[in-house]
Amino acid sequence: MSRSTEFAGRSVPKTIVVTGASDGIGAAAARLLVRDGHDVIVVGRSEAKTRAVGEELGVPFFVADFARLHHVRALAAQLAEHRPNIDVLVNNAGAILGDRRVTADGFEETFQVNYLAPFLLTNLLLDRLLASGSLVVQTSSNAARLSARVDLDDLNNARNYSPVRAYGNTKLELVLFTRELHDRYHERGLSTVAFHPGGVSSNFARTSRSSVGALFRTPVPRLFFQPPRKAAGHLLRFITPAPGEALVSGAYYENGRPRTVKAPPVASRLWETTAALLGLDEG
C-alpha cells in the first residue's frame, strides 16, 4: 500500500452531497450524516420522496432524473450555486432495470443512469471538488466482479443484453472510473473510493422489470438482507474514518477491505470515450 494513496477523514462538519437519497441507503446515510452534524444536500429522482427526506431532515434537496442528462447538468449548476465548497460527493443513485430501453439522450438506460450520469455530475463539479480537496464515493456492487465486462465498442449494451449484465457492466465501469479519477487527480488533493454495500432490504429493484426485481418483491430481502441503516454505515466509514484509520484512494472495497476487480486495462480509454460521448472538454 503506497502512502500516497491513503487518505483520512477531516473533522465535521463537512458539506456532503448524496444522490439516490430519496430512499434506501442514500436516505439512511443522509439521516446518519445529519445526526453527526454534517451539512447534507439530498438528491433524488422522485420529487415527493426527495422532498419528504429533505423536509424531515431540514436540509436542502434537489430533484434530478438521471435518465435525462439535462437534469444532471441542471443539478450540477444548482449545486455549484448553492454551496461554495463540496467536501464529499456520494454517487449513490442507480438502478437495475428490465427490457433494453434507450433514453432521449440516445443511450441504453442502465448505462446512462448508473454510469454516464455520475461521470457527468462529477466532471461538471470537478473544479469545485478539486478546490475543496474532496472525496468522491461511488456505490458499486460485487456484480462488478461477478457479471460484468467492459466492451468499449458496445457500451450501450446492444449485443447480448440482459438486465443483470447491463447492471454489472455499469458497476465495473464505476470501479474503473474510480481508478482513473484517482490516477488523474489524487495528486491535486482529490480522493475517491468505490464500494459494495452488500445485500440491502430496501425498495431497490422492486420496480425492476427483471428477475432481480422479482426477487425484491418477495420476503427474501427483508428476511436475509441487512437494513439500509447498516449498509449506510459502510458508506459513512469512508466519509469519517475511525481515528488513525487510513483508507486507499482509487480502491474498490468489499466487506471493509480493498478487493481486486479483474478488468482489462482500459480505464483511461473508458474515461476518454465517456467524455467524448458526453461532449465534455478534457482540455
**Do residues 35 and 61 lie in contact, with contact meaning Cβ atoms separated by under 8 Å?**
no
Q: Which three cell numbers stand for residue 245?
A: 484509520
* Count of residues in the chain: 283
Q: Beta strands 15-18 and 39-44: pairing type?
A: parallel
Question: Is 167 an annotated catalytic residue?
Answer: yes
CA 5: distance to chain centroid?
20
Question: DSSP 3-state assignment of 156?
Answer: coil
Please state whether the peptide bond connecting residue 13 to the residue before it is cis, i.e. omega within 30 degrees of 0.
Answer: yes
Distance CA 109, CA 111 (A): 5
Element (H, E) at 90: strand 88-91
Residue 63 DSSP label: E
Q: Which of 115, 161, 167, 253 is catalytic?
A: 167
Task: Indicate which residues carry an active-site annotation.
Answer: 167
